[in-house]
Amino acid sequence: MAGGYFYHGEYIVEHKEKYLGSKNPKFRSSWEKRFCFWCDNNDNITKWGYEILDITYFSPIDNKVHRYFPDFYFEAIAPNGKIKKYLVEVKPKKSTEPPKKPKNKNRKAVQRFMEDTENFIINQSKWKSAKKFCTKRGLEFKIITEKDLF
């Protein structure tokens, strides 16, 4: 659904002592809502936030620098007892792979392919910048898909 959100709302944080934001997060998908719930209710998560960090990235589409707000930041107790910090993007698996050329070459299918290709290129630029950002700060960058959530 271009230009809008199919499923969105406000997640009511239950464990406010762990949440890093000043207002309840406004999720943009049922998957983000599910991840909010996981962070909020997981005993190993000591802190979490939604879209609290911004990272600059260069877009090869328009040759400009933009700001990217990864979906989640959280800190978790690792099996060795130490705190591990993560930056997470929640995306459909198909958004993490190059789009496939449409079999049907009608205008709408080709336009959709072009949009998907542009989004894929932009996401790759964002994630490259996020990985550099995380490496410099001792964080781990993860892309979570439906395969991880369900």
Q: Which one of 18, 33, 91, 126 is the catalytic residue?
A: 91
CA–CA distances in Å: residue 18 to residues 44, 56, 135: 11, 26, 24
Tell me if residue 91 is catalytic.
yes
Catalytic residue among 40, 71, 75, 89: 71
β-strand 72-77 against 45-50: which pairing, if any?
Answer: antiparallel
Is-catalytic flag, 40? Answer: no
Check: CB of residue 125 under 8 Å from CB of residue 100: no
In 3D, which of 30, 34, 26 has the Cα closest to residue 6? 30
| In contact, 41 and 14? CB cutoff 8 Å | yes
* Catalytic-residue membership of 116: no
Which residue in the list 32, 40, 75, 89 is annotated as catalytic?
32
Buried b (16+ CB within 10 A) or exposed e, 115-139: ebeeebebbebbbebbeebbeeeeb
Catalytic residue numbers, as ranges: 32, 71, 91
